[in-house]
Amino acid sequence: MACHSTRAYTSPVRRLHVIGRALSSHTSSPNLLVEPSDALIDEPLTIRVSGLKLHQKITLSAFLRAEGKEFVSCAHYTADDAGCVDTAVHSSGGGSFYGVEPMGLLWSMTSSKDKGAKRLLIKDVTRPYDVTMSVHADHVDLEAIKSANNISSVLDTKHVRRWYLRNGVQRIPVRKGRLRGTLFIPSGVAPYPAVLDMFGGSGGLFEFRAALLASRGFFTFALAYLAFDGLPQNFDELDFDYFREAAEMLSGHPLALPGGIGVIGSSFGGGLTNMLASFCDKVKAAVVINGPPTSPLRDQDVNGERIIGHIPRWSELSGDIILNYDHSDVLPMWRQGAKILHLVSEDDRVLPSSVYRSLMQTIPRDKKHNIHSVFYPGAGHLLEPPFAPLCRESSIKIEYDALVIWGGDMQSHAVAQENSWKRILEHLNTHLSRISM
């Protein structure tokens, strides 16, 4: 193989692009197959290597680049008697994970920079994640994968793109009265099952889950409610009417399927989802991801009833999120007849599953028939769509900069994300009367 100077290339991803082009003319090189090369983020990949020597040791690596962030992983394999490696069949003996994990190269990724972003978030959903997968000779550790000195070990490389937004889905920013967010209109024939999507208390606008749901056939509204485009800066300023207004706007939209909407929320947004399921008759189905069954808002009157709130506070001393709950304040989630799915991580360091269980025990047994809870051992607070890397901790800023421990074991969390996404789609499809794409 011809030598190539590496001085002009500033990152491992750029170097691997050049190596891949150089290797493409060498038919004797091992062949890496990664399919599909262009797909939605929740679609599994087939990853196979052929043309290896009998029992040859190799390393598979993955580099992901998006919006200035770089994440990396690797796994060690030994070729079988046919000179092949298949991640769906063969076991990784080291690197970023162990065992037979077809998608391990994606969910085991960590930041390639010591001070890089610890949570892989994309803000521009109209652009994909670019992932470069490579085969390296021998078993190579992760630090060597990152190094420029490791170029000579690359045997083959392929490039894949992973999207949240399917081609044909429309993205429409919303600035209507005080409402802020983004509508996503799926392809196909309207009307569509409609879903309101809310994230946690770190503020801003998160669109990736709403974009992916729209790519699966739902008319979605990613709702911002804090620290975004003129919206309140503090939890104390939030009122329930804003969220009810968003639900009513979506329910009354001409593109929304009649009969009620779905709501999905994570963390603080999960508490808001429980509130909408309790007090808004437009909500037909709800999915709550590690959210409290109590109001996360300040004390306020809702439908003529005084609702006691439990606003999360940050401890400047410990960096922990302080949550104080009273069992008498559990929301009447059964009242409107909404079908509710609670997804609960058992290694959640923000809202412990023991607290959730204790609070839910106060609900009368005859009121629980519309509430289904699923528990995930070893999963952390930030349950995201399938194959996303685990974020155990990250810095967020509301009252001040704080390092928050979210929890989670990497492999257990990956299992939970894949299973929970299937349950989310099934729940929304079942109770919103439309099969997704």
Q: Which residues are catalytic?
A: 267, 348, 381
C-beta of residue 116 within 8 angstroms of C-beta of residue 69: yes
Phi-psi category of 259—alpha, beta or left, where left has phi over 0 and alpha has psi -120 to 50? left
Alpha-helix runs per DSSP H in 108-207: 142-146
Beta-carbon contacts of residue 434 (< 8 Å; ≥ 6 apart): 192, 193, 217, 257
Pull the structure tokens for residue 363. Answer: 């609900």
240-251 vs 268-279: helix axis angle to the nearest 10?
70
Judge residue 318's burial from the number of C-beta atoms within 10 Å of its C-beta, 0-12 exposed, 13-18 middle, 19 or more buried.
Answer: exposed
CA geometry: angle at 97 spanning 416 and 33, to 5°? Answer: 95
Residue 409 in 3-state DSSP?
A: coil
- The DSSP symbol for 432 reads T
Place of tokens 């996360």: 296
Residue 75 in 3-state DSSP?
A: strand
Give the type of residue at 222.
Answer: A
Distance CA 61, CA 96 (A): 9
Residue 193 in 3-state DSSP?
A: coil
List residues bridging with 299 in a β-sheet.
none
Phi-psi category of 430—alpha, beta or left, where left has phi over 0 and alpha has psi -120 to 50? alpha
Nearest of 222, 228, 232, 298 to residue 263 by alpha carbon? 222
C-beta of residue 292 within 8 angstroms of C-beta of residue 307: no
Q: What is the CA radius of gyration of the chain?
A: 23
Distance CA 151, CA 416 (A): 35
C-beta of residue 309 within 8 angstroms of C-beta of residue 300: yes
Pull the structure tokens for residue 63. Answer: 């580099």
Place of tokens 């997968």: 133
Alpha-helix runs per DSSP H in 7-141: 12-23, 104-107
Distance CA 33, CA 415 (A): 24
